[in-house]
Amino acid sequence: MVLHTGRHFLQIPGPTNVPDRVLRAIDHPTIDHRGPEFADLGRAVLAGMQRVFRTEGPVVIYPASGTGAWEAALVNTLSPGDKVLMFETGHFASLWRKLAERLGLDPVFVPGDWRRGVDPAAIEARLRADAGQEIKAVCVVHNETSTGVTSRVPEVRKAIDAAGHPALLLVDTISSLGSIDYRHDAWGVDVTVAGSQKGLMLPPGLSFNAISAKALEASKTARLPRSYWAWDEMLGPNATGFFPYTPATNLLFGLREALTMLLEEEGLEAVFARHARHAEATRRAVRAWGLELLCQEPREYSAALTAVVMPEGQDADAFRKTVLERFDMSLGAGLSKLAGRVFRIGHLGAFNDLTLMGTLAGVEMGLVAAGVPHRAGGVQAALDHLAAEPQADSPKLAAAGE
């Protein structure tokens, strides 16, 4: 049995590592959630999340995982039997479809190979063919956590508009918000779904809906049952910083600290550039090892994680077990149809060059220890990229003179 010292490397694509200062913020005495101090906290995090989503519309925060935010997006906008256009981009898109079915909706599920994102042309064709406008919503996973594929949401919006179809656009950003450029208002999204445990650098437990005026209007006539998830119940108290039921107070303290880090200190553009740089370094390492990227469309490479295909005859789970036992590092598993075939490297959230290099060194050592056929040199390829493309100074800190 290997004795592990030092930190555990949690390099799955979420939950991600929580910065110490966020943990210290969560470790705050619990306060009266009906008092004036909480109202200040509530207003601060609601306004901060509007900036992260890049929306002027309301944002609702639930004490829930991202699955809760999926459900909230559907039950607030749709009615029993409504058709929803969904796409098989991976494991989580498939789970969202299953949730829709259980709610009594009628998903029109477009099959996919889990190696590409949503096809905007297929959306336009499906909506043009929907002469009776029976499809009430298009549901898209922006960044598919199971595959490392990022769908092109602006092109999806253009496809819906080109078809002249009134369907709502619902987008899951659970593994992209705070890591990959996203613009709720500018991209014409009606409901954006997110969770706390990835790019927002928090533990699991908070989920979010960003809501357009069109979605709010749809909620007035939607007939799926809702109580806990009801937007109207949330938006009234939210106007003064409060919640209709007991909120996850201490997670909100952590969220306020994380928002300070993302918005006031590093700045979102620098955050996105950092993630893109680390993702490219990771892909160069994978290619240097002679391994295959799961994502086959370069325009859709994820900046949050990289999914790697194992060589024929090699078991990804056995490799991950070796890495965990020998080097105390957790890598993401292949999910459902990808089980045993891929492993996933998370490079999102509170992450820097040294964390990335430690991660890639662990992968390379693991390939050797597990006897996986590969070429040496992946770590060096990543180092060369980081050296050639040094991280830019944060414009926020530069402006502050630090």
User: Is 34 one of the annotated binding-site residues?
Assistant: no
DSSP-derived 3-state class of residue 141 = strand
Residues 6+ apart with CB under 8 A from 187: 153, 154, 157
pLDDT, one tens digit per residue, over 6-52 is 999 999 999 999 999 999 999 999 999 999 999 999 999 999 999 99
Which among 53, 129, 63, 66 is positioned nearest to 93, based on CA atoms? 66
For the chain, domains (ranges, CATH) are 9-16+267-388 (3.90.1150.10), 20-263 (3.40.640.10)
Which among 118, 150, 115 is positioned nearest to 348, based on CA atoms? 150
Confidence of residue 376 (pLDDT cuts 50, 70, 90): very high
* Cβ-contact 333, 297 below 8 angstroms: no
What does the pLDDT average to over 185-192? 98
Confidence of residue 395 (pLDDT cuts 50, 70, 90): low
pLDDT, one tens digit per residue, over 315-373 is 999 999 999 999 999 999 999 999 999 999 999 999 999 999 999 999 999 999 999 99
**Between the CA of residue 387 and those of 16, 66, 273, 277, 347, what are the distances in Å?**
25, 36, 15, 11, 18
For 9-28, what is the HEC assignment? EEECCCCCCCCHHHHHHHCC
C-alpha span between 309 and 294 (Å, rounded): 6
Is the whole-model pTM more than 0.85?
yes
What does the pLDDT average to over 110-132? 97
Element (H, E) at 379: helix 378-388
Query: How big is the chain by its Cα radius of gyration, in Å?
Result: 21
Question: What's the pLDDT at 214?
Answer: 98
The strand pair at 206-211 and 305-309 is best described as unpaired
C-alpha span between 283 and 306 (Å, rounded): 7
Which among 199, 197, 206 is positioned nearest to 15, based on CA atoms? 197
**Between the CA of residue 230 and those of 73, 83, 151, 195, 338, what are the distances in Å?**
10, 21, 28, 18, 35
Q: What is the DSSP string of 174-200?
A: TTTTTTS---TTTTT-SEEEEESSSTT
User: Residues in the chain, how many?
Assistant: 402
Predicted confidence (pLDDT) at residue 399 exceeds the cutoff of 80: no
pLDDT, one tens digit per residue, over 123-178 is 999 999 999 999 999 999 999 999 999 999 999 999 999 999 999 999 999 999 99
DSSP-derived 3-state class of residue 56 = coil
Question: What's the pLDDT at 1?
Answer: 64
**Between the CA of residue 252 and those of 181, 207, 267, what are the distances in Å?**
23, 11, 20
